[in-house]
Chain A
Amino acid sequence: MLIVNNVTKRYGKFVANDAVSFEIKAGEISVLLGPNGAGKSTIIKSVAGLLKFDGQIMINGHENKSLQAKRDLGYIPEMPALYDMLTVWEHMEFIARAYSLKNWKERANVLLQRLELEDKKKKLGSELSKGMQQKVSICCGLLTEPKVILFDEPMVGLDPHAIKELKSMILEKKKEGAAILISTHMLDSIDEFWDSANIMMGGRIAARRTRQDIEGSGEDLEALFFNITEGDKRQTEGEE
Chain B
Amino acid sequence: MASENPDREHAVAFTLNGEAVRARVPARMHLGDLLRGTFGLTGVHLGCEHGVCGACTILVDGRAVRACLMLGVQADGAVIETVEGLTESGLIRDLQDAFHARNALQCGYCTPGMLVTAAELLADEAAASSREEIRAAISGNYCRCTGYHAIVDAIATTAEARRDARREAVE
Q: Do A and B come from one complex?
A: no
Q: Which residues of chain A have a CB within 8 Å of any CB of chain B?
A: none
